[in-house]
Copies of this chain bind each other. A is one copy, B any other.
């Protein structure tokens, strides 16, 4: 069963994925052509169809892998202890994980409308699962008598918003940013109306 280890296929496939990732993030799915992706990989456009049935599948797989990795990564980090500790851990996890995957995060928020309805439903389901993770933590925290769903969405928007301005080497380092957000989230949930 040994596969030929030097086979070009195993080298090209990840190049296609990463070229699509960075080009879609920079210019948008609709504005990027298969020829641009091919040029970034270093092949001709026709060769891409060895690795994806079409452009849509390329987008969908990037988003699906991103969302599944996100859920799996939290599963490994979740301290499963006291609710307020879990909340702090979630905030730090979300910020660091998203900082490390800026392109995939950007695509997953910006390109939802370019998914076919069937593909959209899959991604939306994964997104709902992730929201559910935070909602359950907030329930366990017994946050003030506010609307839990609203609080969940407010916190997630606030945390994900970091990606719109964070750049490596900026004024604040990653840990200092995460610390600040831990504090803000604590204040927010203690007042959630």
A residues at B contact (CB < 8 Å): 26-28, 30-31, 110, 113-114, 146-147, 150-151, 153-158, 160-162, 164-165, 172, 177, 179-193
Q: Which of B28, B158, B180 contacts A157 (CB 8 A)?
A: B158
Can you list 29 residue pairs at the A/B interface with Cβ under 8 Å? A26-B113, A27-B113, A28-B113, A28-B114, A30-B30, A30-B31, A146-B184, A147-B180, A150-B180, A151-B180, A153-B165, A155-B158, A156-B161, A157-B157, A157-B158, A157-B161, A157-B162, A157-B164, A158-B158, A158-B161, A160-B161, A184-B188, A184-B193, A187-B187, A187-B189, A187-B190, A187-B192, A188-B188, A190-B191
Copies per complex? 2
Which B-chain residue is minimally distant from A161 (CB atoms)? B157
Q: Taking chain A's interface residues, is the majority helix, strand, or loop, or is none over half, making it mixed?
A: helix
Query: Which residue on B lies nearest to A154, using beta carbons?
Result: B158
A175 CB to nearest B CB, Å: 12
**Nearest Cβ in chain B — how far from A35, in angstroms?**
15
Choose from B27, B172, B192 the contact partner of A180 (Cβ within 8 Å). B192
User: Smallest Cβ distance from A138 to chain B, in angstroms?
Assistant: 12
A177 to B150, CA, bound (A): 8
8 A-B pairs with the lowest CB-CB distances in the bound complex, closest first: A187-B191, A157-B161, A183-B193, A30-B30, A30-B31, A158-B158, A188-B188, A187-B187
Cross-chain contact A180 with B31 (CB below 8 angstroms): no
Q: Per a CB cutoff under 8 Å, which of B31, B161, B165, B183 touches A161?
A: B161
* List of B residues within 8 angstroms of A31 by Cβ: 30, 114
**Across the interface, do A180 and B28 meet the contact criterion of CB distance under 8 Å?**
no
Given A161-B161, A179-B193, verify A184-B154 contact (CB < 8 Å).
Answer: yes
Which residues from B are CB-within-8-Å of A191?
183-184, 186-188, 190
